[in-house]
Amino acid sequence: MTGTLGPVLDGVERVAVLRANALGDLVLAMPALDAIRGTYPGARITLLGRSWHAGFLDGRPGPVDEVIALPPISGVSVAAGGHEAPESLIRKLRERRFDVAVQIHGGGRHTNPFIRRLGARLTAGLCTPDAERLDLWVPYVHHHHETLRHLEVTALLGAAPESIEPRVEVTEADRAELARAFGQPPAGLVALHPGATDPRRRWPAASFAAVADRLDRPIVITGIEREREVVDEVAAGMRRPAARAVDALSLGGLAALYERCSLVISNDTGPRHLAAAVGTPTIGIYFCANLVNAGPLMRARHRPLISWTSACPVCGAGGLDPEAERCPHDPSWVADVSVEEVLEQAADLLAPDGPPAAG
């Protein structure tokens, strides 16, 4: 069954949504969650996620009413590898008597059987050709933007999008955390985020440093603990001092920091999505294939700069086939994006008559 706008369902009081992965994945799913909330305003929406989702979303205005943090489950909340869903968990979830269970976590090989076990009266989600079918489903095609694929799923439930741009609310608690950790951020602050889980998506530290020096703005470099080395490398390569925020803030505090920035320059990673979702202009450095799935959909405030490298710079292994085995090398695949390209977009976004305010 394809993802055209379906009828609004009757009697929907409890909705479960499976999206149990990383920060950027959650942000890209927010328009779909907002669509469900807008169409079923009286329903209780439960996100089946991870413990970090619970910490981040607790008390935060938005479409999610509660988070159930899943334990390690193979192909559902962790990579495939032998962790079965505990029967006690399945019983607990079935006792919720969900009216609808939605799978927007992936192609469905592992997740669709899990969703089926919840006992919802209707299931909806994504399906690869070899995945178990749900009651309502959309074909999972790899090269498809994540936000749009999720909205195709929610359309099956009669849920039209309220926006295709993700939004995350910053709370007063987030702002208070930022004030405790860093005081009052300076006007005109620019954040750099040089890390990324996949090292091939990292723009060179020297390029980040060169951009920072030429912007003549106060700079903060953000990262998590495993990115400390690259944060330090960027700072060491600069001629001017920069503040560093490495594991110094919760995700909420990081959202508050980005909210106070005039611009965030980042690799293709969760913090760029978070910055955009709180309304801050961004420049993102993207490998061409990843732009299709996770790039910003609008250009007034968000400028993706694209590397057209299509093969490993070390061994020549192709990088465009999502089914191909990954080669063992980790050089940057985005180093060909130039410092001048980033500075050109930064000048436009930082101009006094720069991008319109986020709507």
What does the pLDDT look like over 72-115, one tens digit per residue?
999 999 988 778 999 999 999 999 999 999 999 999 999 999 99
Query: What H or E segment, with its residue span, contains residue 124?
Result: strand 122-127
Q: How many residues does the chain have?
A: 359
CA angle, 293 as apex, 134 and 280 as ends, to 5°?
A: 120
Half-sphere exposure of 223 (CA within 13 A, CB side): 23
Using CA atoms, how far residue 297 sits from 93, 164, 240, 273, in Å, is 35, 8, 34, 11
- The answer on pLDDT for 53 being more than 90 is yes
Adjacent-strand bridge partners of 124 = 102, 136
Q: What do you get for the CA distance between the two ends of the chain, in Å?
A: 34
Q: What is the mean pLDDT of residues 181-193?
A: 96
Q: What is the DSSP letter of 170?
A: P
pTM listed for this prediction: 0.95
Token duo for residue 25: 């994945």
Tell me where in the chain the CATH 3.40.50.2000 domain(s) lie: 14-155, 172-350
Q: What is the mean pLDDT of residues 223-227?
A: 97
| pLDDT score recorded for residue 244 | 98
Could you tell me which CATH number the domain at 172-350 has? 3.40.50.2000
CATH 3.10.20.90 fits 14-155, yes or no: no
- The answer on pLDDT for 2 being more than 50 is no
- The answer on pLDDT for 358 being more than 80 is no
Tens-place pLDDT, residues 138-152 = 999 999 999 999 999
| pLDDT score recorded for residue 4 | 76
Token duo for residue 82: 């032998």
CA neighbor of 339 nearest in space, from 235, 209, 202 = 209
Q: What is the mean pLDDT of residues 325-341?
A: 96
**Residue holding tokens 């061409």?**
288
Adjacent-strand bridge partners of 283 = 265, 303
Where b means 16+ CB within 10 Å and e means fewer, 189-228 reads: bbbbbbbbeeebbbbbbebbbbbbeebebbbbbbbbeebe
| pLDDT score recorded for residue 155 | 97
Helices (H), 125-269: 146-155, 172-182, 205-215, 228-237, 251-259
